[in-house]
Amino acid sequence: MKRKAVILIGLIAVLIILFIVYLTSPGRLAKVEIVEKYYPHFSDGKAVGFKTNKVISVSKTDEGSNCAMKFNNGETLEIDCDRYLTYKIGETVYITTEGNHVKEIRRKR
Full-model pTM: 0.69
pLDDT band with cut points at 50, 70 and 90 for residue 92: very high
Backbone φ/ψ region at 41: left (φ over 0), alpha (ψ -120 to 50), beta? beta
11-35 confidence digits (pLDDT tens): 999 999 998 887 777 667 889 999 9
Please indicate whether residue 18 or residue 61 has the higher confidence score (pLDDT). Answer: 18
**What's the rounded Cα separation, in Å, for the pair 42 and 7?**
62
Radius of gyration of the chain (CA): 20
Nearest to 98 by CA among 75, 81, 65: 75
State the average pLDDT over residues 49-73: 85
pLDDT of 93 higher than 70: yes
**What's the rounded Cα separation, in Å, for the pair 78 and 47?**
10
